Amino acid sequence: MGEMRIRIADEELLTRISDRARLNNRSVEEEIEALLQVAVPARPRREDLAAIAARIRAMTPKGVKQTSVVEMLREDRNR
């Protein structure tokens, strides 16, 4: 487990974090860690990206002809 020391100069910010920690039944350190988890999400794994692509693909109606990426790039370059 890593350790980090944070000095918060803004008293109002520290009060808001403390209030939020109390509402969530956490210590200030746990609350800051929770905030950091949301602010800095883990990089998606390859399997996760494949699942996202499959989910997007499933949203595309069947029988709709998709434009080739190559065609879109060529069209964009010709602008």
Tell me, what's the pLDDT at 46?
A: 82
Per residue in 24-79, pLDDT (tens digit) is 999 999 999 999 999 988 887 888 888 988 998 888 888 888 888 898 999 888 87
Q: Which two tokens stand for residue 32?
A: 């800051």
Q: Quote the distance between the C-alpha of residue 47 and its chain's center.
A: 16
Which helix (H) or strand (E) segment is 45 a member of? none
pLDDT of residue 43: 83
> Residue 23: what residue type?
L
> In the chain, which ranges are continuous DSSP H helix?
11-23, 28-39, 46-59, 69-77
